[in-house]
Amino acid sequence: MSYRHLTVYERSQIETLSALGYSCRAVARLLGRHHSTINRELQRNKGREQTYKADKAHLAYQARRRKSNKKDSSLP
């Protein structure tokens, strides 16, 4: 199974559409993603003021990626 990470463009679309009051399912339909992907993204990256900011979300994503462990391909 392959996975695609959200792009900066998709994050900015999520920010705009959620600010306009679109539901997670509506945003997902427009972006061609599963609604749980959008919901997880919003929940994971809402700040103290409970609003989603695409630029902050992308920076947090990059920090998590840098901090994650890379899989060693030599292990079975």
Over residues 19-42, the pLDDT tens digits come to 999 999 999 999 999 999 999 999
For the chain, what are the domain ranges? 8-63
pTM over 0.95: no
Would you place residue 45 in the very low, low, confident or very high pLDDT band (cuts 50, 70, 90)?
very high
Cα–Cα distances (Å) from 65 to 20, 29, 53, 58, 70, in that order, read 29, 26, 18, 10, 9
**pLDDT for res 39:** 96
